Amino acid sequence: MKLWTFPPAPNPRKLAVYLAEKGLDIPVELINLVEGRQNSPEFLAINPKGAVPVLELDDGSRLTESLAIIEYLEELNPDPPMIGTDPLERARVREAERMIDLGVLIGTARIVHARRSPLPGREANPEVVRAELERRPVVLDSVNTLIGEKPFVMGARPTIADCTLFGALSFGEIFEVTVDPVFGNITRWYEDFKQRPSAELIM
Domain count within the chain: 2
Compute the half-sphere exposure of residue 128: CA atoms within 13 Å on the CB side of its CA.
16
* pLDDT at residue 203 in the model: 58
- Do 70 and 97 lie in one domain? The reply is no
* pLDDT at residue 200 in the model: 83
- Do 70 and 91 lie in one domain? The reply is no
Contact residues for 97 (Cβ-Cβ < 8 A; gap 6+): 67, 159, 160, 161, 164
The answer as to whether 81 is a domain residue is no
The pTM score is 0.95
The domain of 198 spans 87-202
Identify the segments of the chain with pLDDT beneath 70: 203
User: What Rg, from alpha-carbon coordinates, does the chain have?
Assistant: 17
Last residue of a domain, one of 21, 46, 76: 76
80-115 pLDDT, tens digit per residue, is: 999 999 999 999 999 999 999 999 999 999 999 999
- Do 68 and 146 lie in one domain? The reply is no
- Report the amino acid identity of residue 118: P
CATH number reported for the structural domain that contains residue 162 in this entry: 1.20.1050.10
The C-alpha atoms of residue 121 and residue 130 are separated, in whole angstroms, by 21
- Do 66 and 99 lie in one domain? The reply is no
